[in-house]
A and B are shown apart, each in its own frame.
Chain A
Amino acid sequence: GQNIDQPTEMTATEGAIVQINCTYQTSGFNGLFWYQQHAGEAPTFLSYNVLDGLEEKGRFSSFLSRSKGYSYLLLKELQMKDSASYLCAVPSPGGYNKLIFGAGTRLAVHP
């Protein structure tokens, strides 16, 4: 089965950089996803990593190490609107689109 661990909550200051970590255990690896979810809204796709290394997309970057079962989401130049939950997810073995989500990390950005 899958096991996904993320910190429950983080706080950061506007303009700063924050790194949200995710460790996972899965019997078959088909990539790792990060989703953003604002309070009361639907999760939205942020990134997908299937190879080791850093994928940069504007202010957000995502890193993957398959050998360590580890990923992080890096948010730069934090803005108040980045206050949200960040969900790490991996596909279930045998179900490419069937995502299993971590509990999420609630990020609060303060002025």
Chain B
Amino acid sequence: DARVTQTPRDKVTEMGQEVTMRCQPILGHNTVFWYRQTMMQGLELLAYFRNRAPLDDSGMPKDRFSAEMPDATLATLKIQPSEPRDSAVYFCASADASAGTGELFFGEGSRLTVL
């Protein structure tokens, strides 16, 4: 059963702390996305990788957010320092760019609460 796996599922932290979220894309998928979802803004694209190379991170606050793909099986999103306004659900999604449908497969999300 191929699926995108994210950890942690839930994280509560205090303002100023570092937060790292991890994602394992579906094996064979070469495109990985990080989205953030809030009630007010909906699903916003933060960053986007293809073949582990960052293609677009224009949706990400550069001063505190960073996204990397150390290898094909791991994508990370780091927030340092975290702020209350970062509270949201962070979704990782992966896709096979050669599949032709453009379909994204989402992980279950990491719910972040910054106090």
Contacts and interface: CB of A to CB of B under 8 A. Distances in A.
Contacts of A74: none
Interface residues of A, number: 22
A64 B102 CA distance: 17
B104 A87 contact: no
B28 interface: no
Nearest to A30: B102
A95 B42 contact: no
Interface in B56-111: 56, 91, 95, 97, 101-109
Contacts of B106: 42-44
Interface string B29-53: 0010101000000110100100000
Q: How large is the interface on B (under 10, 10 to 19, 20 to 34, 35 or more residues)?
A: 20 to 34
Given A95-B55, A98-B33, A98-B45, A42 B95 contact: no
B95 A97 contact: yes
Interface stretch (A16-24, A52-60, A76-84, A99-107): A99-107
A91 B109 contact: no
A42 B102 contact: no
Nearest to A91: B102
A70 B6 CA distance: 34
B108 A101 contact: no
Contact of A98 (B48, B91, B101): B48
A67 B55 CA distance: 30
Interface of B: 31, 33, 35, 42-43, 45, 48, 55-56, 91, 95, 97, 101-109
9 contacts: A33-B102, A42-B107, A42-B108, A44-B106, A96-B102, A99-B104, A102-B42, A103-B42, A104-B43
Given A42-B109, A48-B101, A101-B43, 8 more contacts: A42-B91, A43-B91, A43-B104, A44-B106, A87-B43, A91-B102, A97-B48, A97-B104
